Structure 1
Amino acid sequence: MVSSGTSGQVSRIFVDAETAKTQTRALAAIVLNFVGGKRHPMVIVDDQSFLKDRSKFNARAAGILGFSSFGRDHFYLLDEQLRPRWGELLSYLKEHSGSPILVFGFTFLVWQTLVENARAEGLNLSFPQGSLLIHGGGWKKLEDRCISPEVFKSVLKDQTGMTRIHNYYGMVEQVGAIYFECEHGRLHAPGFADVLIRDTTTLELLPHGEKGLIQVMSLLPTSYPGHSLLTEDIGIVEGEDSCLCVIV
């Protein structure tokens, strides 16, 4: 697999069968905690050209393939030129009006399609009650639009009617070990992964609440050295087991 290269660097990751199996099981353990065990109709805000050409198997393709197992009757919203197929989507929503729909996509494509393109066409989409949107990656492409996670959720809710919107943080270098956003807007480390924050100058470990470079660790990869990675992303660890979603 290859990374998206949005930061200028492209990673190439060699995954064997055992690592792929472990990563798939780990992803399922995380996502099923949020979506439940029932497979709902699924809209994928992307095209399916990667299924024909495995040389295009990058972070987006890995995400699509991984998350598609949690849905059924998959509908790819975009054609190979990344143009929305609005007519087919409206028919799909009508056909599955009695069931919540699982929606998945790259963050930038979700915003560009379901917000910008839909507005340009004068469309207000109505997804069934209980529908769930999962999105990740692509935030760098939204920087020039100054869109915060709060604005992203608010606008998507108004545009589609979906209230269950979850972001996740992950990367092709550590497939399966994603940091999923809870209902209180915080990203959580799974049991088989962890995150540290380091000083941007000295790389010294920082305490909770201080901003610095994100270091991610995972137990999952065995076919490549991806256990401990220092990213170029900036973040804060706000606490440990202190989020409202885990306090009983």
Structure 2
Amino acid sequence: MSVFTMDAATRSSLLLEELSSLTDFHRSHSVEYDRILTASGFTSASSVADLPWLPVRLFKNLTLKSIPDDEVFKVLTSSGTTGEVSKIYLDKHAAAEQTRRLGATLQTVLGPSRLPMILVDSKGILKDRRSFSARGAGVLGMATFGRDHAWALDPSGAPDLEALRGFLAKHGDKPFLIFGFTYLVWLHLYEVARDNGLDLSNGILIHSGGWKKLVDQAVSPAEFRRRLQADTGLTHVHNYYGMVEQIGTIFLEGPSGGSLYCPDFADVIIRNPTTWEEQPVGEPGLIEVVSTLPTSYPGHILLTEDLGVLDGIDDGDWPGKRFSVLGRLPRAEARGCSDTYREAA
């Protein structure tokens, strides 16, 4: 069943109630969060946009959690490149729920069955199962939605052409899933498939992780899709936007491409970086993401350091807001998962 069903008005009404309850819960279970809200003077909200947001960077500087230490099941870390990382604390319920909701989101484009899967990464990314980087968490999280996995990179980080050929010989004539961070997909799947005549026409690609290195190579999102189709036959391509600070919530690119969509349990607000007011369709600003999934830590309303723009409301492939990510706020820390990749020595 799709999680892209709610029009903007219905979504706003339901989210206001749920997010207000979450705000009260986190306030009563996190001393640090309560202090922040008290300092801001927040009491109540009449709209989602009035609810108090936290700067996403705050998770690099403070320990923010709404569960006792003995209930911490997993700690996730972000992919910051300056040594500062966010730490996200999950209990068993939150970890299970984020996996369930991520699965429901992906089923919209993958269907209900687990498909054979290519992971465009190296198995070495999965080292410590208690504490993951954002890249490791993303790979592990997505791996659960596939089967008969093939790793596109060998342990040294080099393309494993034989693994890809073996997978395609076995599974290439029917639908299969591909997951990888954008830059790795381009460098270690697209180029390898193009140069070796690999047929990816039955693949469904889910990818994320930033476009910085591809923009440097003059590869736009539209060019990325065009070249994959022309050179490998791959037509089912879905980018997504997400972050470890709201693990389990992803904003998925629609079938026709171009825009990202909000699942029913989440939404996006574009804010004017000077006035903090909501921006109308077509006016760029800072991206605020809201989600009902963060129950073990107060990450339900976050102001990111990413610039975006609303492309439309209730007028696309799926109901609700659709938006595009324009890039990082100037001077903001680079945090793209794929952009932290380094070639093996």
TM-score computed with the length of structure 2 as normaliser: 0.66
Shift of 1:132: 0.5
Q: Which residue of 2 aligns with 1:11?
A: 86
User: Which of 191, 207, 217 matches 2:290?
Assistant: 217
Matches of 2:197 and 2:272, distance apart in 1: 45
TM-aligned CA distance change 1:207 to 1:9, over 3 Å? farther
Whole-Å separation in 2 of the counterparts to 1:130 and 1:85: 20
Partner of 2:158: 83
Q: Report sequence identity in percent.
A: 50
Matched-pair contact (CA < 8 Å) for 2:261–2:318:
no
Secondary structure class of the residue paired with 2:227: helix
The alpha-carbon deviation at position 14 of structure 1 amounts to 1.3
1:104 aligns with 2:183: no
- Could you list the per-position Cα deviations for residues 28-49 of structure 1 after superposition, in whole angstroms to 9, with x for gaps in the alignment? 1111111001222100000112
Residue 111 of structure 1 aligns to a residue in which SS? helix
SS in 2 for 1:138: coil
Long gaps (5+) in structure 1: none
Q: Give the CA RMSD over aligned residues.
A: 2.0
8 Å CA contact 1:169, 1:180 repeated in 2:
yes
CA contact (8 A) 2:79 2:134 kept: yes
Alignment counterpart, residue 226 of structure 2, candidates 122, 142, 154: 154
- Aligned counterparts, 1:44-63, within 5 A: 44-54=119-129, 57-63=132-138
Shift of the alpha carbon at 1:83?
Answer: 0.5
Larger relative contact order (CA 8 Å, sep ≥ 6): 2
Distance in 1 (CA, whole Å) between partners of 2:81 and 2:277 is: 26
1:27: Cα distance to partner?
0.6
1:221, 1:201 → 2: CA distance? 28
Distance verdict in 2 for CA 1:166–1:7, change over 3 Å: farther
CA distance in 1, matches of 2:311, 2:210: 23
Name which of 308, 329, 345 aligns with 1:235: 308
Per the TM alignment, residue 9 of structure 1 is displaced from its structure 2 partner at its CA by 4.8
C-alpha spacing 1:133/1:6, structure 2 compared with 1 (3 Å)? farther
Q: Deviations over 1:144-197 (max 9, x none)?
A: 223211011111223321110110000000011100011122210111111101
Verify: 1:145 aligned to 2:217, yes or no: yes
Which one has the largest radius of gyration? 2
1:95 maps onto 2:186 in alignment: no
CA separation in 2, counterparts of 1:53 and 1:3? 15
Is the CA contact 1:125–1:161 (under 8 Å) kept in the aligned structure 2? no
Q: Does 1:206 align with 2:206?
A: no
Paired position in structure 1 for 2:197: 124
Partner-residue secondary structure (3-state), 1:4: coil
Deviates more, 1:91-100 or 1:29-38: 91-100
